[in-house]
Structure 1
Amino acid sequence: MDIISEKREEGEMSAGRGSALRRAGRRLLRLGLFLLLLPYLLVFLYLVEFIHPVSTLMLRDLVFLRGYDRQWVEFEEIAPILVQSVMMSEDGQFCAHTGVDWVQMRGVVEDALEGEQTRGASTIPMQTVKNLYLWNGRSFVRKALEVPLAIAADFVWSKRRLMEIYLNVAEWGEGIYGIEAAARHYFGVPAAKLSRRQAALLAVALPNPIDRNAGKPGRGLRRLAAVIERRASQSRDYITCLYD
Protein backbone atom coordinates (compact mmCIF):
# COMPACT_ATOMS: atom_id res chain seq x y z
CA MET A 1 0.00 0.00 0.00
CA ASP A 2 2.83 2.41 0.83
CA ILE A 3 4.41 1.84 -2.59
CA ILE A 4 1.09 2.47 -4.35
CA SER A 5 0.51 5.60 -2.30
CA GLU A 6 3.99 6.93 -3.09
CA LYS A 7 3.50 6.32 -6.80
CA ARG A 8 0.14 8.07 -6.68
CA GLU A 9 1.72 11.07 -4.93
CA GLU A 10 4.56 11.17 -7.47
CA GLY A 11 2.03 11.11 -10.30
CA GLU A 12 0.00 13.89 -8.73
CA MET A 13 3.14 15.99 -8.21
CA SER A 14 4.21 15.43 -11.82
CA ALA A 15 0.74 16.38 -13.06
CA GLY A 16 0.81 19.45 -10.85
CA ARG A 17 4.17 20.54 -12.26
CA GLY A 18 2.93 20.00 -15.80
CA SER A 19 -0.20 22.06 -15.09
CA ALA A 20 1.91 24.86 -13.56
CA LEU A 21 4.18 24.88 -16.61
CA ARG A 22 1.19 25.10 -18.93
CA ARG A 23 -0.23 28.00 -16.94
CA ALA A 24 3.14 29.77 -17.03
CA GLY A 25 3.36 29.16 -20.78
CA ARG A 26 -0.10 30.65 -21.31
CA ARG A 27 0.84 33.70 -19.25
CA LEU A 28 4.02 34.19 -21.28
CA LEU A 29 2.05 33.82 -24.51
CA ARG A 30 -0.48 36.44 -23.37
CA LEU A 31 2.34 38.76 -22.31
CA GLY A 32 4.04 38.31 -25.69
CA LEU A 33 0.83 39.07 -27.57
CA PHE A 34 0.22 42.13 -25.40
CA LEU A 35 3.73 43.46 -26.10
CA LEU A 36 3.24 42.90 -29.83
CA LEU A 37 -0.12 44.71 -29.84
CA LEU A 38 0.84 47.56 -27.48
CA PRO A 39 2.67 49.66 -30.14
CA TYR A 40 -0.40 49.52 -32.39
CA LEU A 41 -2.61 50.70 -29.53
CA LEU A 42 -0.18 53.53 -28.87
CA VAL A 43 -0.31 54.53 -32.54
CA PHE A 44 -3.98 55.37 -32.02
CA LEU A 45 -3.31 57.03 -28.67
CA TYR A 46 -0.70 59.29 -30.27
CA LEU A 47 -3.35 60.67 -32.61
CA VAL A 48 -4.19 63.01 -29.73
CA GLU A 49 -2.09 66.08 -30.41
CA PHE A 50 -1.50 67.15 -26.83
CA ILE A 51 0.17 63.79 -26.08
CA HIS A 52 3.94 64.06 -26.50
CA PRO A 53 5.44 60.58 -27.01
CA VAL A 54 8.86 59.60 -25.71
CA SER A 55 11.31 57.23 -27.36
CA THR A 56 12.80 54.01 -26.04
CA LEU A 57 16.17 55.79 -25.80
CA MET A 58 14.62 58.48 -23.58
CA LEU A 59 13.16 55.77 -21.36
CA ARG A 60 16.59 54.11 -21.21
CA ASP A 61 18.17 57.38 -20.11
CA LEU A 62 15.55 57.73 -17.38
CA VAL A 63 16.08 54.16 -16.17
CA PHE A 64 19.83 54.74 -15.88
CA LEU A 65 19.23 58.12 -14.19
CA ARG A 66 21.02 60.03 -16.95
CA GLY A 67 18.23 62.42 -17.75
CA TYR A 68 17.80 64.04 -21.16
CA ASP A 69 16.98 67.32 -22.86
CA ARG A 70 13.79 67.36 -24.96
CA GLN A 71 11.53 70.37 -25.47
CA TRP A 72 8.45 69.48 -27.49
CA VAL A 73 7.69 71.92 -30.29
CA GLU A 74 4.63 71.97 -32.54
CA PHE A 75 5.08 71.37 -36.26
CA GLU A 76 4.14 74.98 -37.06
CA GLU A 77 6.99 76.20 -34.83
CA ILE A 78 9.69 74.35 -36.77
CA ALA A 79 11.47 76.21 -39.57
CA PRO A 80 10.23 74.80 -42.91
CA ILE A 81 13.81 74.68 -44.15
CA LEU A 82 14.62 72.19 -41.39
CA VAL A 83 11.72 69.99 -42.43
CA GLN A 84 12.80 70.21 -46.08
CA SER A 85 16.41 69.43 -45.19
CA VAL A 86 15.48 66.37 -43.13
CA MET A 87 13.22 65.08 -45.90
CA MET A 88 15.91 65.51 -48.55
CA SER A 89 18.49 63.84 -46.34
CA GLU A 90 16.42 61.02 -44.83
CA ASP A 91 13.40 60.28 -47.01
CA GLY A 92 12.86 62.19 -50.23
CA GLN A 93 9.73 60.17 -51.05
CA PHE A 94 8.08 60.84 -47.68
CA CYS A 95 4.96 62.38 -49.24
CA ALA A 96 4.66 59.69 -51.90
CA HIS A 97 4.98 56.36 -50.06
CA THR A 98 2.70 54.76 -47.47
CA GLY A 99 5.26 54.15 -44.75
CA VAL A 100 7.73 51.97 -46.66
CA ASP A 101 9.69 52.73 -49.81
CA TRP A 102 9.24 49.33 -51.46
CA VAL A 103 11.65 50.08 -54.29
CA GLN A 104 14.47 50.76 -51.84
CA MET A 105 13.41 47.84 -49.65
CA ARG A 106 13.51 45.42 -52.58
CA GLY A 107 17.07 46.54 -53.31
CA VAL A 108 18.09 45.86 -49.71
CA VAL A 109 16.58 42.36 -49.81
CA GLU A 110 18.31 41.57 -53.10
CA ASP A 111 21.65 42.76 -51.73
CA ALA A 112 21.19 40.62 -48.61
CA LEU A 113 20.32 37.53 -50.64
CA GLU A 114 23.41 38.05 -52.78
CA GLY A 115 25.59 38.42 -49.71
CA GLU A 116 26.41 42.04 -50.40
CA GLN A 117 26.53 44.81 -47.82
CA THR A 118 23.06 46.27 -47.46
CA ARG A 119 22.33 49.96 -47.74
CA GLY A 120 19.90 51.92 -45.62
CA ALA A 121 16.26 51.94 -46.74
CA SER A 122 14.55 53.28 -43.63
CA THR A 123 11.84 55.84 -44.28
CA ILE A 124 10.89 58.53 -41.78
CA PRO A 125 7.85 56.46 -40.64
CA MET A 126 10.14 53.46 -40.12
CA GLN A 127 12.63 55.53 -38.14
CA THR A 128 9.80 57.04 -36.10
CA VAL A 129 8.33 53.72 -34.98
CA LYS A 130 11.81 52.37 -34.34
CA ASN A 131 12.53 55.32 -32.07
CA LEU A 132 9.18 55.00 -30.29
CA TYR A 133 8.83 51.25 -29.84
CA LEU A 134 11.93 49.29 -30.85
CA TRP A 135 15.70 49.35 -30.49
CA ASN A 136 18.81 50.45 -32.38
CA GLY A 137 21.01 48.08 -34.35
CA ARG A 138 20.45 46.11 -37.52
CA SER A 139 18.51 42.88 -37.35
CA PHE A 140 15.87 41.18 -39.47
CA VAL A 141 13.73 40.69 -36.35
CA ARG A 142 13.59 44.43 -35.72
CA LYS A 143 12.94 45.13 -39.40
CA ALA A 144 10.11 42.58 -39.44
CA LEU A 145 8.48 44.40 -36.53
CA GLU A 146 9.28 47.84 -37.94
CA VAL A 147 7.70 47.51 -41.38
CA PRO A 148 4.06 46.80 -40.36
CA LEU A 149 4.30 49.39 -37.58
CA ALA A 150 5.48 52.01 -40.08
CA ILE A 151 2.60 51.20 -42.43
CA ALA A 152 0.13 51.45 -39.53
CA ALA A 153 1.57 54.78 -38.33
CA ASP A 154 1.53 56.25 -41.83
CA PHE A 155 -2.09 55.12 -42.29
CA VAL A 156 -3.37 56.40 -38.92
CA TRP A 157 -1.39 59.64 -38.51
CA SER A 158 -1.36 62.54 -40.90
CA LYS A 159 1.96 63.25 -42.57
CA ARG A 160 2.26 66.42 -40.50
CA ARG A 161 1.70 64.54 -37.23
CA LEU A 162 4.17 61.88 -38.29
CA MET A 163 6.85 64.45 -39.08
CA GLU A 164 6.09 66.35 -35.87
CA ILE A 165 6.58 63.22 -33.76
CA TYR A 166 9.74 62.23 -35.63
CA LEU A 167 11.39 65.62 -35.21
CA ASN A 168 10.53 65.62 -31.50
CA VAL A 169 11.91 62.18 -30.67
CA ALA A 170 14.92 61.95 -32.99
CA GLU A 171 18.28 61.75 -31.23
CA TRP A 172 20.76 64.53 -31.97
CA GLY A 173 23.50 63.70 -29.48
CA GLU A 174 24.04 62.26 -26.01
CA GLY A 175 20.88 63.08 -24.08
CA ILE A 176 19.66 65.51 -26.77
CA TYR A 177 16.30 64.64 -28.31
CA GLY A 178 14.07 66.61 -30.62
CA ILE A 179 14.75 69.53 -32.90
CA GLU A 180 14.12 72.27 -30.33
CA ALA A 181 16.72 70.94 -27.90
CA ALA A 182 19.16 70.30 -30.78
CA ALA A 183 18.77 73.79 -32.29
CA ARG A 184 19.33 75.45 -28.93
CA HIS A 185 22.20 73.16 -27.95
CA TYR A 186 24.22 73.46 -31.17
CA PHE A 187 23.29 76.92 -32.44
CA GLY A 188 21.65 78.78 -29.58
CA VAL A 189 18.43 79.46 -31.52
CA PRO A 190 14.90 77.97 -31.41
CA ALA A 191 13.84 75.51 -34.09
CA ALA A 192 11.78 78.25 -35.76
CA LYS A 193 14.88 80.39 -36.39
CA LEU A 194 17.26 77.88 -37.96
CA SER A 195 19.15 79.03 -41.04
CA ARG A 196 19.58 76.98 -44.21
CA ARG A 197 23.08 75.86 -43.30
CA GLN A 198 22.15 75.06 -39.69
CA ALA A 199 19.16 73.03 -40.86
CA ALA A 200 21.31 71.11 -43.35
CA LEU A 201 23.95 70.35 -40.71
CA LEU A 202 21.34 69.02 -38.30
CA ALA A 203 19.78 66.91 -41.06
CA VAL A 204 23.02 65.22 -42.11
CA ALA A 205 23.91 64.54 -38.47
CA LEU A 206 20.81 62.37 -37.98
CA PRO A 207 22.19 59.04 -39.28
CA ASN A 208 24.97 59.10 -36.66
CA PRO A 209 24.21 61.80 -34.10
CA ILE A 210 26.78 60.62 -31.56
CA ASP A 211 29.75 60.94 -33.93
CA ARG A 212 28.42 63.75 -36.14
CA ASN A 213 28.45 67.05 -34.28
CA ALA A 214 26.31 69.59 -36.13
CA GLY A 215 27.79 72.42 -34.09
CA LYS A 216 31.40 71.49 -34.89
CA PRO A 217 31.23 69.91 -38.35
CA GLY A 218 34.28 68.49 -40.06
CA ARG A 219 35.01 68.88 -43.75
CA GLY A 220 33.00 65.79 -44.72
CA LEU A 221 29.95 66.88 -42.76
CA ARG A 222 30.09 70.37 -44.26
CA ARG A 223 30.28 68.86 -47.74
CA LEU A 224 27.21 66.69 -47.10
CA ALA A 225 25.38 69.68 -45.65
CA ALA A 226 26.07 71.70 -48.80
CA VAL A 227 24.48 68.95 -50.91
CA ILE A 228 21.39 68.80 -48.69
CA GLU A 229 21.15 72.58 -48.65
CA ARG A 230 20.92 72.60 -52.46
CA ARG A 231 18.37 69.79 -52.50
CA ALA A 232 16.24 71.47 -49.85
CA SER A 233 16.10 74.69 -51.86
CA GLN A 234 14.63 72.70 -54.78
CA SER A 235 12.26 70.48 -52.75
CA ARG A 236 8.96 72.31 -53.24
CA ASP A 237 7.42 69.48 -55.29
CA TYR A 238 8.35 66.93 -52.61
CA ILE A 239 6.72 68.60 -49.60
CA THR A 240 3.14 69.06 -50.81
CA CYS A 241 1.76 66.78 -48.08
CA LEU A 242 3.16 69.09 -45.39
CA TYR A 243 2.70 72.59 -46.74
CA ASP A 244 -0.14 73.88 -48.89
Structure 2
Amino acid sequence: MIVAAPRKPGRLRRFLRLVMRAIGLFLLISVMWTALYAWLPVPFTPLMAIRLIEGYGFSKDWVSYEEISPNLPRAAIAAEDSGFCAHYGFDWEAIQNAWNRNQKSRRIRGGSTISNQTAKNAFLWPDRTYPRKALEYYFTGLIELMWGKKRILEVYLNVVEFGPGVYGAEAAAQTYFKKPASALTRREAALLVAVLPSPLKWSVTKPGPYVQSRTGTIMARMLDIPDPKDDPCGHNGS
Protein backbone atom coordinates (compact mmCIF):
# COMPACT_ATOMS: atom_id res chain seq x y z
CA MET A 1 0.00 0.00 0.00
CA ILE A 2 1.40 3.38 -1.02
CA VAL A 3 0.81 6.22 1.43
CA ALA A 4 0.72 9.65 -0.13
CA ALA A 5 3.11 12.20 1.33
CA PRO A 6 1.40 14.96 3.32
CA ARG A 7 0.79 18.06 1.33
CA LYS A 8 2.97 21.05 2.07
CA PRO A 9 1.05 24.08 3.24
CA GLY A 10 0.21 26.44 0.42
CA ARG A 11 1.76 29.86 0.14
CA LEU A 12 -1.37 31.58 1.42
CA ARG A 13 -1.51 29.36 4.49
CA ARG A 14 2.17 29.97 5.25
CA PHE A 15 1.65 33.69 4.82
CA LEU A 16 -1.34 33.68 7.18
CA ARG A 17 0.64 31.77 9.78
CA LEU A 18 3.44 34.31 9.51
CA VAL A 19 0.98 37.18 9.90
CA MET A 20 -0.62 35.56 12.95
CA ARG A 21 2.76 35.02 14.56
CA ALA A 22 3.72 38.63 13.87
CA ILE A 23 0.47 39.86 15.43
CA GLY A 24 0.97 37.63 18.46
CA LEU A 25 4.52 38.87 18.91
CA PHE A 26 3.39 42.49 18.63
CA LEU A 27 0.65 41.96 21.22
CA LEU A 28 3.08 40.29 23.62
CA ILE A 29 5.74 42.99 23.26
CA SER A 30 3.25 45.88 23.48
CA VAL A 31 1.60 44.51 26.64
CA MET A 32 4.97 43.88 28.31
CA TRP A 33 6.22 47.33 27.23
CA THR A 34 3.14 49.03 28.64
CA ALA A 35 3.37 47.05 31.89
CA LEU A 36 7.00 48.07 32.27
CA TYR A 37 6.18 51.76 31.87
CA ALA A 38 3.46 51.44 34.51
CA TRP A 39 6.26 51.43 37.09
CA LEU A 40 9.49 52.68 35.52
CA PRO A 41 10.28 56.17 34.19
CA VAL A 42 10.04 56.49 30.41
CA PRO A 43 13.71 57.04 29.45
CA PHE A 44 13.34 58.00 25.81
CA THR A 45 10.63 58.32 23.16
CA PRO A 46 10.52 58.11 19.36
CA LEU A 47 9.90 61.87 19.13
CA MET A 48 13.04 62.58 21.17
CA ALA A 49 15.06 60.45 18.75
CA ILE A 50 13.58 62.30 15.77
CA ARG A 51 14.34 65.69 17.32
CA LEU A 52 17.95 64.67 18.00
CA ILE A 53 18.35 63.66 14.36
CA GLU A 54 16.87 67.01 13.35
CA GLY A 55 19.59 68.76 15.37
CA TYR A 56 17.71 69.79 18.51
CA GLY A 57 19.22 69.34 21.95
CA PHE A 58 18.02 67.10 24.72
CA SER A 59 16.96 68.20 28.20
CA LYS A 60 14.86 65.86 30.33
CA ASP A 61 14.72 65.03 34.03
CA TRP A 62 12.06 62.64 35.31
CA VAL A 63 10.26 63.63 38.51
CA SER A 64 7.37 61.96 40.32
CA TYR A 65 3.83 63.32 40.16
CA GLU A 66 4.21 64.60 43.73
CA GLU A 67 7.24 66.66 42.70
CA ILE A 68 5.24 68.62 40.13
CA SER A 69 3.28 71.68 41.18
CA PRO A 70 -0.49 70.94 41.12
CA ASN A 71 -0.76 74.01 38.91
CA LEU A 72 0.67 72.12 35.94
CA PRO A 73 -1.66 69.10 35.86
CA ARG A 74 -4.54 71.49 36.52
CA ALA A 75 -3.47 73.62 33.54
CA ALA A 76 -3.02 70.55 31.33
CA ILE A 77 -6.47 69.21 32.14
CA ALA A 78 -8.05 72.65 31.71
CA ALA A 79 -6.45 73.23 28.31
CA GLU A 80 -6.08 69.79 26.78
CA ASP A 81 -8.81 67.55 28.18
CA SER A 82 -11.40 68.86 30.62
CA GLY A 83 -13.10 65.46 30.67
CA PHE A 84 -9.90 63.59 31.53
CA CYS A 85 -11.25 62.13 34.76
CA ALA A 86 -14.63 61.19 33.29
CA HIS A 87 -13.67 59.25 30.15
CA TYR A 88 -11.80 56.01 29.60
CA GLY A 89 -9.25 57.42 27.18
CA PHE A 90 -11.56 58.51 24.36
CA ASP A 91 -13.72 61.57 23.84
CA TRP A 92 -16.18 60.07 21.36
CA GLU A 93 -17.88 63.36 20.56
CA ALA A 94 -14.52 64.96 19.71
CA ILE A 95 -13.57 61.90 17.65
CA GLN A 96 -16.82 62.14 15.69
CA ASN A 97 -16.26 65.85 15.06
CA ALA A 98 -12.69 65.13 13.96
CA TRP A 99 -13.92 62.40 11.62
CA ASN A 100 -16.39 64.79 10.02
CA ARG A 101 -13.62 67.36 9.51
CA ASN A 102 -11.28 64.73 8.08
CA GLN A 103 -13.76 63.91 5.31
CA LYS A 104 -13.25 67.43 3.98
CA SER A 105 -9.53 67.77 4.63
CA ARG A 106 -6.34 65.85 3.83
CA ARG A 107 -4.96 66.68 7.25
CA ILE A 108 -5.93 63.98 9.75
CA ARG A 109 -7.16 65.19 13.13
CA GLY A 110 -8.04 62.90 15.97
CA GLY A 111 -9.86 64.69 18.80
CA SER A 112 -7.05 63.68 21.15
CA THR A 113 -7.40 63.33 24.90
CA ILE A 114 -4.47 63.47 27.33
CA SER A 115 -4.54 59.67 27.32
CA ASN A 116 -4.26 59.64 23.52
CA GLN A 117 -1.38 62.10 23.61
CA THR A 118 0.41 60.11 26.32
CA ALA A 119 0.12 56.92 24.28
CA LYS A 120 1.46 58.72 21.23
CA ASN A 121 4.30 60.44 23.08
CA ALA A 122 5.48 57.37 24.99
CA PHE A 123 5.23 54.68 22.30
CA LEU A 124 4.80 56.14 18.82
CA TRP A 125 6.09 58.63 16.30
CA PRO A 126 4.39 61.88 15.23
CA ASP A 127 2.23 61.21 12.20
CA ARG A 128 -1.31 61.93 11.04
CA THR A 129 -2.15 58.75 9.15
CA TYR A 130 -4.98 56.36 10.00
CA PRO A 131 -2.67 53.35 10.72
CA ARG A 132 -0.65 55.39 13.22
CA LYS A 133 -3.85 56.71 14.76
CA ALA A 134 -5.13 53.15 15.12
CA LEU A 135 -1.96 52.21 17.02
CA GLU A 136 -2.47 55.26 19.23
CA TYR A 137 -5.97 54.08 20.12
CA TYR A 138 -4.65 50.59 20.85
CA PHE A 139 -1.98 51.89 23.24
CA THR A 140 -4.52 54.28 24.78
CA GLY A 141 -6.66 51.28 25.72
CA LEU A 142 -3.65 49.55 27.24
CA ILE A 143 -2.54 52.47 29.40
CA GLU A 144 -6.08 53.19 30.59
CA LEU A 145 -6.37 49.55 31.61
CA MET A 146 -2.90 49.09 33.12
CA TRP A 147 -1.81 52.51 34.42
CA GLY A 148 -4.69 54.54 35.80
CA LYS A 149 -5.25 58.28 35.52
CA LYS A 150 -2.54 59.45 37.89
CA ARG A 151 0.18 57.48 36.11
CA ILE A 152 -1.06 58.62 32.70
CA LEU A 153 -0.80 62.25 33.75
CA GLU A 154 2.58 61.65 35.41
CA VAL A 155 4.03 60.16 32.23
CA TYR A 156 2.43 62.86 30.06
CA LEU A 157 3.94 65.68 32.10
CA ASN A 158 7.36 64.01 32.06
CA VAL A 159 7.72 63.33 28.34
CA VAL A 160 5.69 66.02 26.58
CA GLU A 161 7.68 68.43 24.40
CA PHE A 162 7.64 71.97 25.84
CA GLY A 163 10.12 73.45 23.38
CA PRO A 164 13.11 72.61 21.15
CA GLY A 165 14.86 69.76 22.95
CA VAL A 166 12.97 70.38 26.21
CA TYR A 167 10.92 67.46 27.53
CA GLY A 168 8.89 67.18 30.69
CA ALA A 169 7.90 69.47 33.54
CA GLU A 170 11.23 69.58 35.37
CA ALA A 171 13.34 70.40 32.32
CA ALA A 172 10.83 73.05 31.23
CA ALA A 173 10.68 74.67 34.66
CA GLN A 174 14.47 74.77 34.95
CA THR A 175 14.99 75.95 31.37
CA TYR A 176 12.39 78.71 31.27
CA PHE A 177 11.94 79.78 34.90
CA LYS A 178 15.14 78.61 36.67
CA LYS A 179 13.13 76.74 39.30
CA PRO A 180 11.96 73.18 39.99
CA ALA A 181 8.65 71.93 38.63
CA SER A 182 7.33 71.82 42.20
CA ALA A 183 7.51 75.63 42.37
CA LEU A 184 5.64 76.53 39.19
CA THR A 185 3.07 79.27 39.66
CA ARG A 186 -0.40 79.26 38.15
CA ARG A 187 0.64 81.59 35.33
CA GLU A 188 3.87 79.74 34.60
CA ALA A 189 2.01 76.44 34.36
CA ALA A 190 -0.60 77.96 32.06
CA LEU A 191 2.14 79.48 29.89
CA LEU A 192 3.89 76.12 29.52
CA VAL A 193 0.68 74.40 28.51
CA ALA A 194 -0.24 77.23 26.14
CA VAL A 195 2.59 76.33 23.76
CA LEU A 196 1.89 72.57 23.72
CA PRO A 197 0.01 72.47 20.41
CA SER A 198 3.13 73.80 18.61
CA PRO A 199 6.13 73.87 20.98
CA LEU A 200 8.60 74.44 18.14
CA LYS A 201 6.59 77.33 16.75
CA TRP A 202 5.47 79.12 19.91
CA SER A 203 7.79 80.33 22.66
CA VAL A 204 7.49 80.28 26.44
CA THR A 205 10.16 82.95 26.89
CA LYS A 206 8.83 85.23 24.13
CA PRO A 207 5.08 84.62 24.03
CA GLY A 208 3.30 86.35 21.20
CA PRO A 209 -0.25 87.75 21.37
CA TYR A 210 -1.86 84.37 20.72
CA VAL A 211 0.13 82.53 23.41
CA GLN A 212 -0.53 85.33 25.91
CA SER A 213 -4.25 85.21 25.15
CA ARG A 214 -4.31 81.41 25.40
CA THR A 215 -2.45 81.61 28.71
CA GLY A 216 -5.13 83.87 30.13
CA THR A 217 -7.87 81.55 28.91
CA ILE A 218 -6.18 78.54 30.49
CA MET A 219 -5.75 80.38 33.80
CA ALA A 220 -9.47 81.14 33.85
CA ARG A 221 -10.38 77.52 33.05
CA MET A 222 -8.08 76.26 35.80
CA LEU A 223 -10.47 77.69 38.35
CA ASP A 224 -13.03 75.06 37.30
CA ILE A 225 -10.62 72.13 37.73
CA PRO A 226 -10.53 70.47 41.19
CA ASP A 227 -7.20 70.47 43.01
CA PRO A 228 -5.22 67.62 41.39
CA LYS A 229 -2.72 67.33 44.27
CA ASP A 230 -1.89 63.68 45.22
CA ASP A 231 -4.49 62.19 42.85
CA PRO A 232 -5.92 64.13 39.89
CA CYS A 233 -9.10 62.07 39.66
CA GLY A 234 -9.87 60.98 43.19
CA HIS A 235 -11.04 57.38 43.21
CA ASN A 236 -10.73 57.21 39.39
CA GLY A 237 -6.93 57.41 39.54
CA SER A 238 -4.48 54.78 40.70
TM-score by length of 2: 0.82
The equivalent of 1:15 in structure 2 is none
- Retained in 1: the 8 A contact 2:191–2:211? yes
**Structure 1 counterpart of 2:149, which letter?**
K
Q: Structure 1 residues 52-61 or 111-120, which shifts more?
A: 111-120
The equivalent of 2:32 in structure 1 is 41
1:179 paired to 2:169:
yes
The equivalent of 1:194 in structure 2 is 184
- Retained in 1: the 8 A contact 2:48–2:58? yes
CA distance in 2, matches of 1:123, 1:196: 22
Percent of matched pairs sharing the same residue: 37
- Retained in 1: the 8 A contact 2:41–2:62? no
CA distance in 2, matches of 1:85, 1:134: 24
The higher radius of gyration belongs to 1
CA distance in 2, matches of 1:104, 1:238: 24
Structure 1 residue 102, shift from structure 2 partner: 1.0
For structure 2, list consecutive stretches of 5 or more residues without a partner in the other structure.
Answer: 1-9
- Retained in 1: the 8 A contact 2:60–2:166? yes
Structure 1 residue 34, shift from structure 2 partner: 3.0
**Structure 2 counterpart of 1:94, which letter?**
F
* Alignment match of 1:132 (pick from 119, 122, 137): 122
CA distance in 1, matches of 2:87, 2:188: 27
**Structure 1 counterpart of 2:29, which letter?**
L
The equivalent of 2:222 in structure 1 is 232
- Retained in 1: the 8 A contact 2:62–2:158? yes
CA distance in 2, matches of 1:213, 1:115: 28
1:142–1:116 CA distance, 2 compared to 1 (3 A): closer
The equivalent of 2:6 in structure 1 is none
The C-alpha deviation readout for 1:102-161, integer Å capped at 9, x for no partner, is: 111111122323559765511111111111111112111111111121022112112111
CA distance in 2, matches of 1:62, 1:137: 17
Structure 1 residue 215, shift from structure 2 partner: 1.7
For structure 1, list consecutive stretches of 5 or more residues without a partner in the other structure.
Answer: 1-18
**Structure 2 counterpart of 1:110, which letter?**
N
**Structure 1 counterpart of 2:207, which letter?**
P
Structure 1 residue 226, shift from structure 2 partner: 0.1
* Alignment match of 2:64 (pick from 48, 52, 74): 74
**Structure 2 counterpart of 1:137, which letter?**
D
1:58–1:147 CA distance, 2 compared to 1 (3 A): same
* Alignment match of 2:134 (pick from 119, 144, 154): 144
The equivalent of 2:193 in structure 1 is 203
CA distance in 2, matches of 1:137, 1:34: 23
Number of aligned positions between the proteins: 226
- Retained in 2: the 8 A contact 1:39–1:133? no
Structure 1 residue 220, shift from structure 2 partner: 1.1
1:242 paired to 2:236:
no
1:175–1:116 CA distance, 2 compared to 1 (3 A): closer
The equivalent of 1:99 in structure 2 is 89
**Structure 1 counterpart of 2:116, which letter?**
M
Structure 1 residue 69, shift from structure 2 partner: 0.9
CA distance in 1, matches of 2:148, 2:97: 27
